[in-house]
Structure formats: structure tokens, C-alpha cells
Amino acid sequence: MTAVTTAHPAGRRTTRDGFRQVLHAEWTKFRTVLGWVAGMGVATLLVVLVALLAGVSSDQKGSPPVPIGPGGEAVTDTCYFVHQPLAGDGSVTVAVSALDSSIPQGLGDLRPGVVPWAKAGLIVKESTRQGSPYAAIMITGGHGVRMQDNYVNDRAGLRGPVSAASVRWLRLDRSGDTITGYAGTDGTNWAEVGTARLSGLGSSVQVGLFVASPQVVDGMGTTGSVSTAAFGDLRLHGGWTGGEWTGELLGDHSPSFAGFPGNGSGSFTQSGGRFTVTGAGDIAPAVRETLPTGGTLNDILTTGTFAALIAVIVVGALFITTEYRKNLIHVTLAASPRRGRVLLAKAIVLGAVAFVAGLVGAVLAVPLGARLARANGVFIFPVTPWTEMRVALGTGALLATASILALCIGAIVRDSAAAVTSVIGAVVLPYLLIANPFMPASVANWLTRVTPVAAFAVQQTLVQYPQVASHYTPYQGYYPLVPWVGLAVLAGYAVAGLAVAAVVLHRRDA
């Protein structure tokens, strides 16, 4: 008895069937099967090749440049602007008594309609250059008084629509770099709406009235709109003394401006202090729908990632079902009787390889695809290096999680055909549905919350803006869940799969 114990020292015994050995055994199995290694290689290759194809085939050559805002984001900077240059500090006030919008119905037949984000008000803009810094106070078609600055910032003021019976008074004060917006109902009592700090504003700025009228969401598509506002009592105070007002349509050649509906045009009329201004377009961050020449890293990666998913799902399922088919599972379980550990070791090895495959694919695909697309005139929505890193790591994690899910289903059903079919089905079907441009936004967004395709959110690079009306759907590159939460949905399926597979593996005869 003692002799046996000394022959197998306790320490050595534990290392023998320790977890490291199980892991090593699984790694050896994986790397020595050519087909599995090749499958992972194919996954990487698919990510890269599809990105190259998407880049090479894009065709936006000669498209006009996209205006870039002060924060580096793509913007749309189109409006009818009645302005004059004013130097130093000062103040401007105006009364808005009407904001009426028209939307084309059928073929160019303009009818009165509601454009929630139609804008009319006062603006202080560094210059008439596209994408220049600004601060504005405005009345909107359906969101009351707003103070907006530098395209992305938006603050709410007085509620309710404007009309001759409820006139809205607007005021903008400039003091150095600071612009303060006020609103009121009588022209004497003012409530501050917000303050904007526009860094690097020169002494002379363009000050005046503006009217913008963005596209409206109409069923599956969008329609252009045109809006007219009536202003009265336009007055300059403080250090500002008035000159001649000139009107012009800013950014009429911008790629995000689809033109006036019904062959209209922007205009303004002046009689004393009263102005009637007609305009279209929007001063806001650019969204995917309004920028037809735009592209995202998402576009470059997602289709290739989808292709790679099929490859890693096949490898993941085979990694365990092959053991059952070749009866190697008996040897595996005899060598390591604690079955849950075997499953865990397989998941770690498989997940690590799939992660590397996805990461390498994304790291190669993003710069190559983006460069080719840019060379073909596509404007890639700018991203921070952190976002780019998240997209690359997330692509690896997406492939890893999906392959682990396939492994678990393989362990549960033990049949490769059934495992591959069910996992691919669980990914392909919702993906096909969300990749369909005609899918209603509610259905598409629901699918990207609850099904495994939620994980594609990890590749999104676009931001939704509440102050811009658009179809924020996965097809356009907007996901309802934030990136890591989306991935967590898929991870949840994988963890549930692991738990069920561990129980089943433990209970069932191998």
C-alpha cells in the first residue's frame, strides 16, 4: 500500500490528469487535424477577401467631399441662411410667428405636413464654410425651442409649436467664445436655454436667420421637405450694428443634400424688420441614410464575418462530433474522467483559435478594405482608434463565441449534420432577415436584440442621434444594443449551451 503511494507521488498524480494536460491534449487534437486548421484559415481568409471585394467594387468616384464638423464627425450643413458679418460681442433677437412645412405627395405635389425637425431661428456661425462651428437657437416643427451647437449638441427649451397666437422670441448673445441662447414669449422676459463654447471663434462671425427642413421618415423610405418661416422684429443689440442682410443657400452641393422637393428653391423676402425665409436641408450630424456616398467599417467587415461564421461553426461542431463518430470520445473520457473539464478544455482551445482567426482577419481587413473604398471615393464614417480596436477584438470574440455555441450543440446532439444545420440556421435566418432593406425597423431591431445576430452590434461604428429623424436599422448599420451587450446576447446562448452540454455529457453514456 505504502509502496504504491511512493511509486505515484501525490504531486505527480495531480499533474497527470490536471487541467493543463487536458488542455494540451485538446490543443494537440486540434492542431493535428488539417481540416480544422484549414477551416479556421478559411475563416480569416473570408473576412479579408470579402473586405477587399467590398473595397474594390465600391464606386463613388468623383463624389463631392463630405463636410466634417469641429468634432471630426461627418455632418450635413445645408440651410437657407440670411446673414451678415458682425465683429466683436453683441446680441441678436427675433420673433418667430410661423413655421410651415410641405412634403411632396406622389409626383412632386407639395402638401402641408409636419416635419418634426424642421428648424427656424437665429444662428452664429464662424463662417459660411461647410462644417464650420456654430451655435443656434431655433423653433422646430415638433420639438419646441432647441439650442443646438456644433452639429451634435442639442438642448430643449420652451415646448409647444409656434403660431401667430403663440409667438416665440429667440435671442443669441455672443461674448468671446461663449454663445448663450434665450427664449421667451414676449420679447422682454428671457429664459436661458443653453450655453455653447465655440473654441477658436474669430472676431468677425456670420450672424443671422436660418431655415432648415430635413428629410422625413415616410414608411420604408424618406422624403425631402421644404419649410417657410415668418420672422419679425429682427434686431441687433450690444456691440453689433446692422448692415445689409444677404441670403444664400448653404451647402447646396453637399452629398447629403438631395435638393428641394418639387423643383423649389430657397429664398427670403424682407420688408422692414419682417422676413419670410424658405429653406431645406439640415444642420446636423450626418446619418447613413442622408449620406449615399458614405460607408462604414461595418459594411467592410460584416458580410465577411458572416461567411467566416459558417466556417467556424462547421469546425466547432466537428471538433466534438468527430470524436463520437470515430469513437475517440471513449479514449478522451477514459484519459480525463471529469467530463465537464473536457468540454471546457475543448471550448477554450476552439474559442482561442477562432478568436485569433477573427482578430487577424479584422486587423488585416479593416485597413485594406477602408483604403480601397476611400480610393474609390467612398467616405468612411470616421472612428476613433479605440472603436477600431473594439471592432477588431469584437470580431474575434464573435467568431469564438459562435464556434463554442456550435461545439456545445454538437456535444448535445452528437451529430455533425444536425449541429451544423441548427447553429447555421440560428444565425443565418435572422441575419438574412435583418440584411433585407425592406424589413420593418421594429422587426429588425427585435431580431437584433434577442437572436444570436445581436452579436454583430460589436462591429457597429455609427451613433444614433435623437435630433435626426432616420431609419436606425441594422441594415443601415445602427444596432439597438450597444456593442458589448450585443455580443453578450450571443455569449448568453453559448453559456447556456455549455451548461446543457456539460449536464448531458455527464449524465449520458458516451
Partner 1 sequence: MRPALHAEWTKLRTVAGPGWLMLGMIAATVALSAAAASVVTCAADGCGGDPTKLSLVGVVLGQAPAAVLGVLVISGEYGSGMIHTTLTAVPHRVTAFAAKAITLTGVVAAAATIAVLGSLLAGRLILSHHGFTAAPGRPALSLTLRATTGSILYLTLIGLLSLGIAAVVRNSATSIGVILGLLYLLPLLAQAIGDPHWQRRLEQFAPMSAGLTVQATTDLGSLPLSPWAGLGVTAGWAAAALVAGGLLIRTRDA
Q: What is the DSSP letter of 130?
A: T
Closer residue to partner 1, CB minimum distance, 60 or 128: 60
451 scored as a contact of partner 1 (CB under 8 A): no
Least distance (Å) between residue 33 CB and partner 1: 12
Helix (H) or strand (E) holding 430: helix 416-434
60 binds partner 1 (CB under 8 A): yes
> Which string of x and - marks every residue 174-213 that binds partner 1 (by CB under 8 A)?
----------------------------------------
Residue 432 found at the interface with partner 1 (CB under 8 A)? yes
Answer yes or no: are the C-beta atoms of 406 and 310 closer than 8 Å: no
Q: Does 420 bind partner 1 (CB under 8 A)?
A: yes
Contacts (CB under 8 A) with partner 1, residues 101-140: 106
Residue keyed to cell 412634403: 103
Among 193-201, 336-344, 391-399, 419-427, the segment contacting partner 1 (CB under 8 A) = 419-427
Contacts of 336 (CB under 8 A, 6+ apart): 17, 21, 22, 25, 342, 345
By the rule CB under 8 A, 328 interacts with partner 1: no
Coil, strand or helix at 109: strand
In the block, residue with C-alpha cell 477514459: 334
Beta bridge partners of 134: 125
User: Judged by CB, which is closer to partner 1: 80, or 306?
Assistant: 306
Piece of the chain touching partner 1 by CB under 8 A; list 79-87, 256-264, 310-318, 450-458: 310-318
- Per-residue H/E/C for 332-388: HHHHCCCHHHHHHHHHHHHHHHHHHHHHHHHHHHHHHHHHHHHHCCCEECCCCHHHH
Q: Considering beta carbons, is residue 147 or 309 the nearer one to partner 1? A: 309
By the rule CB under 8 A, 66 interacts with partner 1? no
Taking every pair of C-alpha atoms in the chain, what is the biggest distance, in angstroms? 112
What sign for the dihedral angle of Cα 438, 439, 445, 450? negative
Q: Please tell me whether residue 368 binds partner 1 under the rule CB under 8 A.
A: no
Query: Is residue 483 a contact partner of residue 390, using CB atoms and an 8 Å limit?
Result: yes
Residue 325 lies near partner 1 (rule: CB under 8 A)? yes
Write the DSSP assignment of 281-331 as a string of letters.
Answer: B-EEE--GGG-TTEE-HHHHHHHHHHHHHHHHHHHHHHHHHHHHHTTHHHH
Report if residue 77 touches partner 1, rule: CB under 8 A: no
Given the DSSP bridges, would you call strands 145-149 and 178-184 parallel, antiparallel or unpaired? unpaired
CB of 314 to partner 1, least distance (A): 4
Interface pick for partner 1 out of 205, 226, 280, 378 (rule CB under 8 A):
378
Assess 152 for contact with partner 1 (CB under 8 A).
no
- Region near partner 1 per CB under 8 A, out of 123-131, 258-266, 336-344, 414-422: 414-422
Contact flag: residue 311 with partner 1 (CB under 8 A): yes
Q: Is 303 in the site for partner 1 (CB under 8 A)?
A: yes
**Whole-angstrom distance, CA of residue 426 vs CA of residue 429:** 6
Interface residues for partner 1 in 475-504 (CB under 8 A)?
Answer: none
**Residue 84 or residue 223: which is nearer to partner 1 going by CB?**
223
Asked whether position 53 contacts partner 1 by CB under 8 A, the answer is: yes
d(CA 380, CA 293): 9
Judged by CB under 8 A, how many residues of this single chain contact partner 1? 42
Give the one residue of 95, 211, 291, 313 binding partner 1; rule: CB under 8 A: 313
- CB nearer to partner 1: give 97 or 461: 461
Contact with partner 1 (CB under 8 A): which of 429, 463, 482, 503? 429
Q: Of 13 and 325, which CB lies nearer to partner 1 in the complex structure?
A: 325
In this chain, which stretch among 57-65, 445-453, 477-485, 494-502 interacts with partner 1, using CB under 8 A? 57-65
Q: Which is nearer to partner 1, 302 or 473 (CB)?
A: 302
Q: Is 310 one of the binding residues for partner 1 (CB under 8 A)?
A: yes
Q: Minimal CA–CA distance to 167: which of 89, 241, 68, 97?
A: 97
Distances in whole angstroms, Cα of residue 284 to Cα of each of 75, 136, 183, 214, 465 = 6, 11, 21, 9, 9
Handedness of CA 187, 188, 189, 191 (dihedral sign): positive
Give residues with Cβ within 8 angstroms of 375, minimum separation 6.
Answer: 55
- For residue 24, what is its C-alpha cell? 494540451
Among 243, 440, 492, 503, binds partner 1 (CB under 8 A): 440
Dist. CA 306–CA 429, nearest whole Å: 12
Lookup result for grid cell 409656434: 162
Residues that bind partner 1 (CB under 8 A): 35, 39, 50, 53-54, 57-60, 106, 219, 295, 299, 302-303, 306-307, 310-311, 313-314, 317-318, 321, 325, 373, 376, 378, 416-417, 419-421, 424-425, 428-429, 431-432, 435, 440, 443
